[in-house]
Amino acid sequence: MASDEQNDSVFSRFCENVSIPTAKYLTSKHNRKVRIVTWIIIIIMAGLTVYQIYERSAYYCTEPITVTVTESNEDGGVMPAMVICPPGQFRASLAAARVYGQVDNDNRGSEHSDLFNFEQHRDTFISQFQRTDINFTSADVDTLIQELKSISEDLYNVPDEELSKVLDRLDNMSASLQDRFPVLAAKLSTKEPIFKAMIPLKADNLTEITDSDGYAKYRVLNGLYDECAQTQLYIYTDEFSFPDWDRAIRYIMICRLGDYYDEPDEIIGDLTRFATYARLINLARPNHTEVVLDCKWYNGEFSASAQECNVTSVWTPFGQCFRIAPKEGTNLSSASPESKTRVDVLIDTLTAEFPDALTTVFFYSQDETEFATTNGGIEIEPGLRSKLMIEQMRQNIRAAKNCGTTSLRHFKSYSKDKCIWEKSTEPIEKECNCLYDRAPNYLRDAGEEIAKMQADVSYNASLNFCSMYDTFFCAQNALASDYDCPDDCEELQPEVGLVIYPLDPKKVRTRLSQRFDKTVTKNMMALSDYGGFLNAPGSEQLDNLLSELFKAHMELISIFWWKNRTEYNEPFYLAWFYAPDIERFNDIYNYFNFSNYVSPSYAILPFDFDETLFDQDDEQYSFFKELILGILEKYNTSQKDWTYSYSKESMEPFYNSITADLEAAKSATDQFAELRLLVLNKFVEEYTKFYECVTSPPDTLSECYATYMCQKLISKDYTRIMTTSSCSKSDQFDASKTSFDTDKNVANNYVPISICDLEQSLQLTNIQNVTTTRFSPITELKYWIEKLLQSRSDIDGDFSMWQAPWGIYTKWFLEESMPIDPRTMTSIARALTTHANTSDVFKIRNYYRDGLPTREHLKKVHLNVWNATERLISPLNNLKEC
């Protein structure tokens, strides 16, 4: 009986813990009927499991899958067509001219707007909005426009004492719109980006702005000041000519919102553009002439066999791409390795505004006119020559029961990719009641309307294109995910090898149109307003060049800094520079308190001599000099009848004398008591270490000499025209080889370090051949500053040593000459800003390339300053040691 109870207990625990969901009902705590039903269910499920195992095993054994691989070598084949898909469909740099610039009644807007940002990064924002459950409609935007117009009117009319309330409304709106309209939210903020627009050359965390990331940091800070801020801060300044944000903020926000009595600008203008979304996406796409610059189809080895390509626009899941095929009538059947059949395509990647995307190439059969493939493309790196070689064609044939077809509305032939594209986008037209630009029938249905818009941008399309709200919200919710698309019964896929070569500029140049340079410059200037040149080929090299220019600029500002201005005594850099012909604080001519902008040749030193510092009474220094000479005289007297050996007997008289002087100094009360006690206390402390080492075994003399003595070296300072001495200390000192007992010269050249320090503090100068003159270190420093920095420069005799770098620097910063039209000037200042473009950088780089006089002058900037300051090292060190 006990055994049955034990077994029942084990069984109950098993049922309670086993993973079978119904097993817990088999325990004795449930009634009999429940346990019987549970057993029946478990037996039925176990039986079904056994049956499924049997059925699947029988199917596998009776109907095996057979894969047949056949390789065949063909003497020739048909050259496939290529489809080139540019990285991104929307080009913000094309929008202003094509979409808005040609419409007289279009509301003005900025280059940096949420609408442009949304469309340029459409997939990213759609994913973000879905993840954060964000949605807005045209009615929401209209309400926002009306509220901003009301605020714009208040900014004009409210008195100063009530302005803060209006600014608070703007800040509250900025915070609430951050997740939906990030660009708009940033423009609505009334907070000052940087105090007085001053960027310190050394940040609070002691990280130099001139480090490797300095230029990147500056571009971010520079970008915080838009045109409205720069314009108004030029007008409203404080008593030191610094930008006064508090006085300018009312007018900055009026500028950003738009003139209430005129057409809306900036923020309100950006919001009104949401209504023109359909026109924007249809006209701001690049056409085939902007992507494919040149194309040649070769059917033979010689250039005479080259023919123009047939480039046509095709619609794909990516949007508009371009099909490369030969002209009609070209014989394609002879394509073989021996025939040298190839296609040579020159693609323009400079218009690519998408830093993380590349142009992609797909291969298709020549008779294919419908394109739906989304994978397997070959990415083309910009600025390089990419050679694509079709190494073999792979044909996959599936068994009839494993593949199939279905009828499609928008395609003549079937493929699984076409089916997925059509079935997934099919519900959008019905649920959103608009034509979606990523539907397969878009170009077929809208092509005629798009052509009319391109011919006349004021044309109002009759088709109901999807609005921004339809595209970002309704269409995404309507996309189908449940559809039946059988696998393809036959697939033909090329295996392509990719080899990359450097691009030959000479060969490329001959294939470009005569107006290409002007077109590129124009495009790059437009592109710079929508993200700069940072996405162009070679942008890393250009960025490195600008980083070098920026670092040199920061170093030169530090060198030329006007140090005696108490209101800004530490070097800083303003977030932007004004035009050079305007005398304001952050004009380059006036930046260092140099008001004469006609010529920099009259620039004085960047600091004034403080007469109380340089021309002070030498009474204290005279006492210091006499005190040091007195100690040295006692030391030399103690060595008068010396036996050339260090011992307690020879060192004790001098040691007792200086310690007695120290004790007397502790009780002195005259005007030099503090200085006397400081000098004696320090000297006695250092000399005592040497004395105790020599007189207190077990230290050996070699260890004492190595630790507390040095070799006195005499040298000639040809720059300062004088003899100087210095001390060299060695960690290894062999007393047996250093003949103090027999060689007096050796004894004179090896002295205690404490004695050498005293001698160096009174270096004998030889200025103007007056050997007895002894200047105090501070007076000597003043002499060399006046003598060296004001001497004539070897660059230009009209400049002093100090003035010459300043003159070269201002020319370098502004470019050697002032053009008639200041708008055409390319300055270093512009090249360093967020609005820089490649044309600016190329001009500056060419102007200062190696071998040109301007480059040599730029090198001499640092050379001149180095020559001047290098001669000050010695007097500066003397001053520091004292």
Q: What pLDDT does residue 545 have?
A: 67
Give, as one character, the DSSP assignment of residue 225: S
Instruction: Kindly state the percentage of the chain with pLDDT values over 90.
Output: 15
Q: What pLDDT does residue 602 have?
A: 41
Out of 300-314, 461-475, 568-582, 594-608, which region has the weakest mean confidence (pLDDT)?
A: 594-608
Q: How far apart are CA 167 and CA 191, in angstroms?
A: 9
What pLDDT band is residue 722 in, cutting at 50, 70 and 90?
low
Instruction: State which of 100-114, 227-241, 420-434 shows the largest mean pLDDT.
Output: 420-434
Instruction: Kindly state the percentage of the chain with pLDDT values over 70.
Output: 64
Q: How far apart are CA 13 and CA 23, in angstroms?
A: 10
Own/partner pairs for 530-535, CB < 8 Å, 24+ apart? 530/92, 530/93, 530/111, 530/112, 530/116, 530/120, 530/353, 531/92, 531/353, 532/834, 532/835, 532/836, 532/837, 533/836, 533/837, 533/838, 533/841, 534/355, 535/352, 535/353, 535/354, 535/355
Give, as one character, the DSSP assignment of residue 134: -
Question: Which residue has better confidence, 703 or 748?
Answer: 703
What pLDDT band is residue 225 in, cutting at 50, 70 and 90?
confident
Domains contained in the chain, CATH given? 2-52 (no CATH), 65-89+285-391+503-532 (2.60.470), 93-278 (no CATH), 405-486 (no CATH), 539-610+783-881 (no CATH), 619-773 (no CATH)
Q: How far apart are CA 788 and CA 807, in angstroms?
A: 17
CB 498 within 8 A of CB 378: yes
Give, as one character, the DSSP assignment of residue 728: E
The enclosing H or E element of 715 equals: strand 709-717
Do strands 359-364 and 81-85 pair parallel, antiparallel, or not at all (unpaired)? Answer: antiparallel
What digits encode the pLDDT tens for the residues 88-98?
A: 788 877 777 77
Nearest Cα residue to 606 out of 550, 552, 568, 549: 568
Cis ω for the linkage preceding 805 (within 30 of 0): no
Question: Which residue has better confidence, 469 or 81?
Answer: 469
Q: What pLDDT does residue 693 have?
A: 87
What pLDDT band is residue 333 in, cutting at 50, 70 and 90?
low
pLDDT at residue 610 tops 70: no
Q: Is 712 helix (H, G, I), strand (E, B) or coil?
A: strand
CA R_g for the chain? 42
Q: What pLDDT does residue 472 have?
A: 94
Write the CB contacts of 270 (distance below 8 Å, at least 6 apart in sequence): 109, 110, 113, 114, 115, 183, 184
pLDDT at residue 102 tops 60: no
Q: How far apart are CA 700 and CA 717, in angstroms?
A: 37
Out of 156-165, 326-335, 405-414, 440-449, which region has the weakest mean confidence (pLDDT)?
A: 326-335
Q: What pLDDT does residue 752 have?
A: 87
CB 712 within 8 A of CB 725: yes
Write the CB contacts of 562 (distance below 8 Å, at least 6 apart in sequence): 592, 593, 606, 607
Q: How far is CA 839 from CA 417, 836, 877, in A?
A: 43, 8, 47
Nearest Cα residue to 878 out of 722, 707, 683, 671: 722
Per DSSP, what are the bridge partners of residue 710?
751
Q: Is 713 helix (H, G, I), strand (E, B) or coil?
A: strand
What digits encode the pLDDT tens for the residues 524-545?
A: 666 655 555 555 555 666 677 6
Question: Which residue has better confidence, 745 or 42?
Answer: 42
CB 313 within 8 A of CB 324: no
CB 648 within 8 A of CB 626: no
Query: Hey, what are 340's tokens?
Result: 């040298």
DSSP string computed for 543-593: HHHHHHHHHHHHHHHHHH--TT-GGG-S-EEES----TTS-STTSTTTTTS
Instruction: Measure the CA angle with vertex 855, ends 852 and 860; round to 5°.
Output: 130
Over residues 682-706, the mean pLDDT reads 82
Own/partner pairs for 173-182, CB < 8 Å, 24+ apart? 173/147, 177/144, 179/132, 179/134, 180/134, 180/136, 181/114, 182/114, 182/117
Do strands 292-298 and 198-200 pair parallel, antiparallel, or not at all (unpaired)? Answer: unpaired
Question: Which residue has better confidence, 474 or 328?
Answer: 474
Q: How far is CA 628 from CA 73, 621, 683, 759, in A?
A: 100, 11, 10, 8
Out of 19-23, 144-148, 358-362, 870-874, which region has the weakest mean confidence (pLDDT)?
A: 870-874
Write the CB contacts of 831 (distance below 8 Å, at least 6 apart in sequence): 546, 549, 840, 841, 844
pLDDT at residue 738 tops 60: no
Q: Is 394 helix (H, G, I), strand (E, B) or coil?
A: strand
Buried b vs exposed e over 274-297: b needs ≥16 C-beta within 10 Å? bebbbbbbbbbbbebebbbebbbb
Write the CB contacts of 509 (distance below 8 Å, at least 6 apart in sequence): none
Length of the chain: 882
Give, as one character, the DSSP assignment of residue 22: T
pLDDT at residue 398 tops 90: no
Q: How far apart are CA 882 and CA 779, in angstroms?
A: 13
Instruction: State which of 350-364, 402-416, 794-808 shows the largest mean pLDDT.
Output: 402-416
Nearest Cα residue to 393 out of 489, 498, 491, 493: 493
Out of 198-202, 386-390, 609-613, which region has the weakest mean confidence (pLDDT)?
A: 609-613
Query: Hey, what are 740's tokens?
Result: 């103090």
Over residues 22-40, the mean pLDDT reads 76
Place of tokens 């980083």: 547
Instruction: Measure the CA angle with vertex 61, ends 59 and 65; round to 5°.
Output: 85
Over residues 461-489, the mean pLDDT reads 91
Instruction: Measure the CA angle with vertex 766, ends 760 and 767; round to 5°.
Output: 120
Q: How far apart are CA 160 and CA 9, in angstroms?
A: 87
DSSP string computed for 270-326: HHHGGGGHHHHHHHSS--HHHHEEEEEEESSSSGGGEEEEEEEEEEETTEEEEEEEE
CB 724 within 8 A of CB 717: yes
What pLDDT band is residue 495 in, cutting at 50, 70 and 90?
confident
Give, as one character, the DSSP assignment of residue 824: G
CB 825 within 8 A of CB 814: yes
Terminal-residue alpha carbon distance, the chain = 105
CB 494 within 8 A of CB 388: no
Phi, psi of 576 (to 5 degrees): -160, 165
Q: What pLDDT does residue 728 have?
A: 79
Q: How far apart are CA 474 and CA 489, in angstroms?
A: 35
